[in-house]
A and B are shown apart, each in its own frame.
Chain A
């Protein structure tokens, strides 16, 4: 249980175009979704936190207008890389928080990632 399906797994786009990455929670409601970026052989860098029905919270240094996050429903969160450039090429991973609230177990489930290449 608690699976997050992330699509596409790989995408190549031309510089200047936009790309949308989707993360769907298949068997649970994802109140909170996290979006990470990972460069080769490096750790995961948190880009933003999205909560269903509200605006995403971006980490310092992340361009809000370039990385648009939408969390319109409890089962779908999307990341759109707008006007992509080669430096946006990276591996993007979403992760859903499984539980919330004081005293409850805390866990996460991760999408399988999207490798974005901008040419």
Chain B
């Protein structure tokens, strides 16, 4: 069974600051994919960033980067130069290599303060 844990239910940060969202996971598979999804007030799920477990290099997408620690089963998301539009619910998710199902964490509600 796969599990994803997000231990920060809510966070807030001043605009332009950097914030890190935590995520830990558990899986018995040696190869898998990790995702961060954003769900703004519109409730549309938006992919923020994706990491393949077999790649050692941390994924980056503009202001978003991850710190992937495979041995520790940790996958944190760093948002740099935070913007008001980053206010949303953020979900960490895991998918096994041979299984299309996504397992979601409980989410972190992030508020960017002007």
Interface residues in A18-60 (C-beta closer than 8 Å to B): 32, 34, 38, 41-44, 46, 49
Interface residues in B20-77 (C-beta closer than 8 Å to A): 33, 42-45, 47, 50
Interface residues in A72-119 (C-beta closer than 8 Å to B): 91, 93, 95, 97, 100, 102, 106-108, 110, 112-113
- Smallest CB separation, B69 vs chain A (Å): 21
Q: In the complex, are the beta carbons of B100 and A49 less than 8 A apart?
A: yes
Q: Which one of B11-19, B78-86, B103-111 contacts A?
A: B103-111
A-B Cβ contacts below 8 A, count: 44
CA distance A24 to B100 in the complex (A): 19
Residues of A within 8 A of B107 (CB): 42-43
Q: In the complex, are the beta carbons of B106 and A42 less than 8 A apart?
A: yes
Q: In the complex, are the beta carbons of A93 and B95 less than 8 A apart?
A: no
Q: Which residue of A lies closest to B95 (CB)?
A: A106
Q: In the complex, are the beta carbons of A107 and B101 less than 8 A apart?
A: no
Main DSSP-derived SS at the B contact region: loop
Residues of A within 8 A of B47 (CB): 107-108
Q: Which of B33, B43, B97, B105 contacts A112 (CB 8 A)?
A: B43
Q: Which of B43, B89, B91, B104 contacts A91 (CB 8 A)?
A: B43
Q: Which residue of B lies closest to A31 (CB)?
A: B100
Residues of B within 8 A of A34 (CB): 100-102
Q: Which residue of A lies closest to B32 (CB)?
A: A106
Main DSSP-derived SS at the A contact region: strand
Q: Which of A38, A41, A49, A112 contacts B101 (CB 8 A)?
A: A49
CA distance A94 to B107 in the complex (A): 18
Contact of A110 with B45 at beta-carbon distance under 8 Å, contacts A42-B106, A43-B91, A44-B104 already known: yes
- Smallest CB separation, B82 vs chain A (Å): 21
CA distance A46 to B94 in the complex (A): 13
Q: Which residue of A lies closest to B103 (CB)?
A: A46
The interface of chain A, by Cβ under 8 A from chain B, is 32, 34, 38, 41-44, 46, 49, 91, 93, 95, 97, 100, 102, 106-108, 110, 112-113
